[in-house]
Amino acid sequence: MKIVDLSLPIDESAFEVHKVDIQRITHRAGVDKFNRVIMGKTLWGKIKYALGQRIVKKEQLPDEEFLSLEIVHAPVHIGTHLDYSFHYGSKSEGRASKTADEIPLEYCYQDGVKLDFRHKKPNEIIKAADIESALKKINYQLKPLDIVLLQTAADKLYGGPKYFSDYPGVDPSAIEYLLDKGIKIFGVDTMGIDRPYRFMLSEFLKTKDPKTFYPAHFYGRKREFIHIERLANLEKIPDSGFKILCFPIRIKNTGAAWSRVVAIVQ
């Protein structure tokens, strides 16, 4: 058995549209942080701390080190993550949308299949016919609950601006095709399932046609689905014959949640 990591990190040094900040408190600084937090619980403790008193001194600790602490400030759409219906709108299929902590866990450990769309160019879309053609090429028939991974190789652009501008999108017809086959989760190695902003927004402003603006995401208001964004390393797994494990981190009332997505190849 081989476990293949299909995830991208949360990395404050990578180019991102939204701000990512990771506050890193070192082992040396940890003891002062501990004193500040504990003593800061009372007014008298705050006064004593300000006067230089400490309840624990670094000299009392092994190697004069305490524990490290990292505080992550990042949107749930940074790093590899699962999106659920609340992200797409307040309602899905005529009822209140579900949040990421409501994703059924049985959906998140299933057989996987990889479909190759590396020939698709930026601003192009993956349609239902493309899904059907890709399945024929690998002689695979979808079954309910399969997790379908769409490979574009856009993950190789991660870390720079082109990651956000050079990748194909997914057409609602492709999502409909997958849902009709009983698929609950599909994933992409791009930063989003719709076309890049530079194409989509330009067309929307020119035509004023709402169908050109986030059509894949907004399709989630019509039919409920889950998708994975920001996958990576899909070239390291076969077309089929593997399991996908993509349990979401349990965060209350969010439209998306981070996940360490892995393929288990027998």
Residues of the chain with pLDDT under 50: none
Which pLDDT does position 212 carry in this prediction?
Answer: 87
pTM metric for this prediction: 0.92
Which pLDDT does position 190 carry in this prediction?
Answer: 98
What CATH homologous superfamily does 2-9+76-265 map to? Putative cyclase (3.50.30.50)
C-alpha distances in angstroms, 137 versus 116, 130, 140, 143? Answer: 9, 11, 8, 17
Q: Where do the structural domains in the chain lie, given as residue ranges?
A: 2-9+76-265, 21-73
Residue type for position 203: E
Residues linked to residue 115 through DSSP beta bridges, in sequence order = 150
Residue 77: which residues within 8 A CB-CB, separation 6 or more? 18, 83, 229, 256
Q: Which single residue is written with the structure tokens 């192009």? A: 124
Which pLDDT does position 123 carry in this prediction?
Answer: 87
Which pLDDT does position 228 carry in this prediction?
Answer: 98
Tens-digit pLDDT profile for residues 191-227: 999 999 889 888 888 888 888 899 999 999 999 999 9
d(CA 223, CA 175): 9
